[in-house]
Amino acid sequence: MSSTVSVFKPDVFAGKVAFVTGGGSGICYGIVKQLMAHGCNAAIFGRRQKNIEDAAAALSKDTGKKCIGISGDVRKLDTLQEAIKRTVAEFGRIDFVVAGAAGNFLSPLAGLSANAFKTVLEIDTLGTYHTFKATIDELCKTKGSILAISATLHYTATPLQAHVSAAKAGVDALIKVIGVEYGPRGVRANIIAPGPIAGTEGMDRLMPKELVAEHTRAIPLQTYGSIDDIAQAATFLFSPGAKYITATTLVVDGGSWHTSQSV
């Protein structure tokens, strides 16, 4: 992860616990690393058991805090419920939830089977709902916060991304309703919409290398973002500095979606 000097107090999350789906790699790995670097313990959840356990060990080693890796599939509510039981047994509480597990590939509608469309909706939208469902009782106890990792694809009509655009629009709508319904219980719910972020599986899959230079010139801030840019934004949204922010989206894209047709 490229690193920026943190503007947050190193112990701002002391005593807190994070639960992060998709935390074994990419953007969500970067988020959980930043949260742990600011004092919290964490559980990360992903499909591949060895990967998630190795990632948890690396996060513990790098930050000096404790991370456990739990395998499961966000499409299966029971695997998330089991993971939450393990997390609470290990750490006693959950304060921060990141719904980050996602699936993506480029496909024109003409090449997209019904099962392919459904698969991405099940990972992204249903998976976010399952993550909420499995964690909300714990968040109500701690007056915690949930954060979904969405996208900007659906702000315009992005070709080859109908499935992900539909899925992320659903994620955005769901999170805003969670924010409204659970605000009175002290729970905040927000969205980060990353733009083009270098070094992620999403960008590797979606952006042909020969188009990178042209694409970069179209971004107002003239560069791709880093995983750390997203992690810093997440740190802010979980911090007390964001205590009056709920049911909203923080777009972290260098201004990209205003000027860019694709990602």
Would you name the residues annotated as active-site residues?
150, 168
Instruction: Give me the least distance between CB of 34 and ligand HXC, in Å please.
Output: 19
Q: Interface with ligand HXC includes 116 (CB under 6 A)?
A: yes
Q: Interface with ligand HXC includes 139 (CB under 6 A)?
A: no
For residue 34, the 8-state DSSP code is H
Work out the widest C-alpha separation in the chain, in whole angstroms. 51
Instruction: Give me the least distance between CB of 180 and ligand HXC, in Å please.
Output: 25
Q: Interface with ligand HXC includes 254 (CB under 6 A)?
A: no
> By CB under 6 A, how many residues form the interface with ligand HXC?
21
Instruction: For the segment 168-207, give every residue that binds ligand HXC (CB under 6 A).
Output: 201-202, 205-206
Q: Would you give the binding string for ligand HXC spanning residues 50-89, x where CB under 6 A is met?
A: ----------------------------------------
Q: Interface with ligand HXC includes 208 (CB under 6 A)?
A: no
Q: Which stretch binds ligand HXC (CB under 6 A): 9-17, 87-95, 100-108, 208-216?
A: 100-108
Q: Are 163 and 117 in contact (CB under 8 A)?
A: yes
CA atoms within 13 A on the CB side of 146: 34
Q: Which residues pair with 17 in a beta bridge?
A: 41
- Kindly provide the residue ranges of all beta strands, DSSP E only, lying in 26-91, ordered along the sequence: 41-46, 67-71
Q: Interface with ligand HXC includes 119 (CB under 6 A)?
A: yes
* 17, 37, 146, 151: which one binds ligand HXC (CB under 6 A): 151
- Kindly provide the residue ranges of all beta strands, DSSP E only, lying in the chain, ordered along the sequence: 17-21, 41-46, 67-71, 96-99, 145-149, 188-194, 248-252
Structure tokens at 144: 């915690």
Q: How far is CA 253 from CA 78, 99, 191, 231, 247, in A?
A: 34, 19, 13, 13, 19
Instruction: Give every strand in the sheet of 188-194, ordered side by side.
Output: 67-71, 41-46, 17-21, 96-99, 145-149, 188-194, 248-252
CB-based contacts of 102, cutoff 8 Å, min separation 6:
22, 123, 124, 127, 149, 164, 202
Instruction: Give me the least distance between CB of 78 and ligand HXC, in Å please.
Output: 17
Beta carbon nearer to ligand HXC, 36 or 263: 263
Q: Interface with ligand HXC includes 104 (CB under 6 A)?
A: yes
Q: Are 24 and 248 in contact (CB under 8 A)?
A: no
Q: Which stretch binds ligand HXC (CB under 6 A): 37-45, 60-68, 88-96, 116-124?
A: 116-124
Q: Interface with ligand HXC includes 28 (CB under 6 A)?
A: no
Q: Which stretch binds ligand HXC (CB under 6 A): 3-11, 96-104, 132-140, 244-252?
A: 96-104
Give the Cα separation of 186 and 178 in Å (integer): 11
Binding site for ligand HXC (CB under 6 A): 102-105, 107, 111-113, 115-116, 119-120, 123, 151, 153, 164, 201-202, 205-206, 263
